[in-house]
Structure 1
C-alpha cells in the first residue's frame, strides 16, 4: 500500500468513525425513547477526531487542523468529566 493510499484510508476511517457517533447517538436515543448521549459517542468522537487530525496534518490543511484540534480537546474533556462523575458516585 502506497503512502497516499494509507493516508486516504486514515482519512476515510476517521470520517467513518466520526459519522458513526451520530448513528450511535440516534439508535441509543431511540432505544431509550428520549434524547441521550452515550459515553461511546465521546469515544467515537475522540478517535474519529484524532484520525481526521492526523489526516489534516498530513495534508497540511490549517483550517481542518484547527477545527479538529478544538474538537479533540472538547471530546477529551467530556470523557474526563464523565470519569470524574463516576468516581464521585462510587
Structure 2
C-alpha cells in the first residue's frame, strides 16, 4: 500500500501534477463558495464567483487533461467551459439590462 501511495503522490510528482492539483482545488472552491452563499441567504444561491471559479478551474483541468491525453476528461471539461462561459454571458447581459433600465427610470432635473 505504501509503495502505491509513494508512487502516485511522490515519485511521479512534477509540474503537471501540481497544475492538476491546483486546478482541482480551484474547481472544488466553487462548491464552497456556493455553499457559503446559500447558507448566508438561507436559500440556494449560485453567486457569480461560482461561475468564475468553474471557468478557471475547468480551463486548467482541460489543459491538464490535454496533457494527459484523456479523451473522456477532455470532452467533459470542454463541454463544461461552454456552459460556464454562457452563464457568465447571461449574467453580464442581465446586469447590462438592469443598468439600462435604471438609467431610463431616472428623472431628469429641470
TM tier, smaller: over 0.9
Structure with max Cα Rg: 2
Structure 2 residue 33 is the aligned partner of structure 1 residue 24: yes
2:4 equivalent to 1:11:
no
Asked whether 1:54 is paired with 2:54, we answer no
Show structure 1 runs of 4+ deviating over 3 A.
Answer: none
What does residue 42 of structure 1 align with?
Answer: 51
Gaps of 5+ in 2: 1-12, 100-110
Residue in 2 aligned with 1:87?
96
Length-normalised TM-score, structure 1: 0.94
**Total equivalences in the alignment:** 87
Q: Which ranges of structure 1 fall in alignment gaps of 5 or more residues?
A: none
With structure 2 as the length reference, what TM-score do the two structures score? 0.77
Higher relative contact order (CA 8 A, sep 6+): 1
Counterparts of 1:77 and 1:6, CA distance in 2? 31
Equivalent positions of 1:69-80 (< 5 A) are 69-80=78-89
CA distance in 1, matches of 2:22, 2:59: 11
Q: Which residue of 2 aligns with 1:66?
A: 75
RMSD: 0.8
